[in-house]
Chain A
Amino acid sequence: MPTRKLLLYFSKCETEKPIVYRLVKDYNLMINIFRAKVTPDEEGYLVLDVAGTDEDINNGLEYVKSFGVTVNETLKGVRWDSVKCTSCGNCIPRCPTGALYYPDKHALKVDFDPTQCIECLNCIKNCPFDACRSLF
């Protein structure tokens, strides 16, 4: 079953609607929320995996967009800045999913695979060089 990782951005007004409930109930989607910050009267962010048929996912996303919610499939809540990163490697044992990893075991240059990131934020607390940041 196709799974897509999404970042939803809510402008001020849409936070009181049970959007995730509707996605499950009306569009047969399996939802796995990694991280959410949705506060009434403020903008909000939601990072989640949605799994379902392509048709259901697309219909679900149309529904979400109808509220003016921005759906982003490339931008993630956790950003890794390759220029700031010195490849010290201190994040590697703290990243539970291997999203921060060494592609080459000899060169030991750190890389970031956003598709593996579950937004636990360990790297942000850990990075001595401020290379990992959160969008929210």
Chain B
Amino acid sequence: MKTYEEINEKIAAGKAVVLTADEIIDYVDKNGLETAAKEVDVVTTATFGPMCSSGCFLNFGHSKPKMRITEAWLDDVPAYAGVAAVDVYLGATQLRYNDPANLYHPGEFRFGGGHVMEKLVAGKKIQLFGLSYGTDDYPRREIRTWIDINDLNQAIMVNPRNCYQNYNVAVNCSEKEIYTYLGYLKPGMKNLTYCSATQLSPLLNDPFYMTIGIGTRIWIAGAHGHVYAEGTQHAPSCKRGENDVPMGGSGTLALTGDMKRMQPEFVRGVSLRGYGVSLAVGVGIPIPILNEAILKYTTVRDREILAPVVDYATDYPEATGKVLGYLNYEELKSGEVTFMDKEVKAGSLSSYAGALEIAEILKAEINDGRFLLSSPMAPLVREQSMKPLVIRENK
């Protein structure tokens, strides 16, 4: 029906019809699939929630005299220095040196790698402390200086795993309170947490990866980045509904973008009491409406997306794989659900309001001709399961 080239020509001419994944639902209801597929060129999807697997590669440039940094701390958060002389990798979940962690449970985890990344994007100064053993060509053995993102040659964000297609709903069936990466859970299943951009979420709108693949250009916290690989734990071979939407984690994307072009409100350090630190990054992905089948998938709505409810007191930590049941996102977003004959208060960790804002920003950028679509260089794998880690005896 349409090609990427045709859609890009319309975008460049300022004539593309763009709707958010939220708006497309009513639009197709009103106009019918066939007409809508002809009229609509792009549907924008988005997500803005904590995603642990994030980090960045930083290049500091060379000091005088030069130094081959072997250990590095940024605002006292250790960074991995085994990259090159003045390159490091900073991980979002890295705790600050001397953080008491869960020594006094539940720990507060106020500052870590994700917070350093937030400060960098916000243009704030951070402290670099580095050590080395010294070599003939890199004699300096210690450095302490203050830098901001403009001092860096490169600051490239990488998210080896982002945009989880769907996700668990966490509950606590035990008798004592627990603290998890899905927040505080009261005993006796009094509350639950879900974490998804639901009907706006990129991979819920493209369940079999017909348009989102390796090389797809994306909006990442304001920068224009791309999908560089399948995400870690990408496991699309899972239980799916009649609408092909996964009923569990399923697919993931590996993303990258230039932090120098990012906006601080969409790169946010996360502190999860009793668990640790993380990072929330806002992501927007356009879906080109090449045909009716692609459009049909983008009309998925909250009540048609089911999420598995998992007990984070026993089944999750013990990896039993047990699912207590399923809830749809319309019920979850209402704030209170009835599950297993109990009234359960529902809370979220992913920002729907933030995702909606990003979907609108991306829509505006496409409408203004500032964001062109790219066809993937390679598709994402559609059949693949997640392997467990086997603990073997060394014989």
Contact = CB atoms under 8 A, between A and B. Distances in A.
Interface residues of B, number: 31
Interface string B330-354: 0001110000000001111111111
Interface stretch (A15-23, A24-32, A60-68, A107-115): A107-115
B180 to A, nearest CB: 12
A66 B41 CA distance: 69
Interface stretch (A41-49, A51-59, A73-81, A124-132): A124-132
Nearest to A91: B347
Given A92-B335, A93-B345, A94-B184, A87 B353 contact: yes
Given A125-B273, A126-B184, A128-B50, A90 B353 contact: no
Interface residues of A, number: 21
Contacts of A39: none
Interface string A2-18: 00000000000000000
B271 interface: yes
B353 A109 contact: yes
A128 B353 contact: no
Contacts of A88: 49-50, 280, 348-351, 354
Given A90-B193, A108-B352, A109-B353, A128 B347 contact: no
A90 B280 contact: no
Interface in A68-120: 83, 86-94, 102, 105, 107-110
A109 B352 CA distance: 8
Contacts of A125: 184, 273
A91 B346 CA distance: 10
A128 B49 CA distance: 11
A129 B111 CA distance: 11
A129 B110 CA distance: 9
B347 A90 contact: yes
Contact of B268 (A91, A107, A126, A129): A129
Contact of B351 (A83, A86, A130): A86
Given A126-B273, A128-B271, A92 B347 contact: yes
B354 A86 contact: yes
A128 B354 contact: no
A129 to B, nearest CB: 6
A94 to B, nearest CB: 7
Nearest to A130: B271
B52 to A, nearest CB: 12
Interface of A: 83, 86-94, 102, 105, 107-110, 125-126, 128-130
List the 5 closest A-B pairs by CB distance, nearest first.
A93-B345, A87-B353, A109-B353, A89-B348, A93-B347
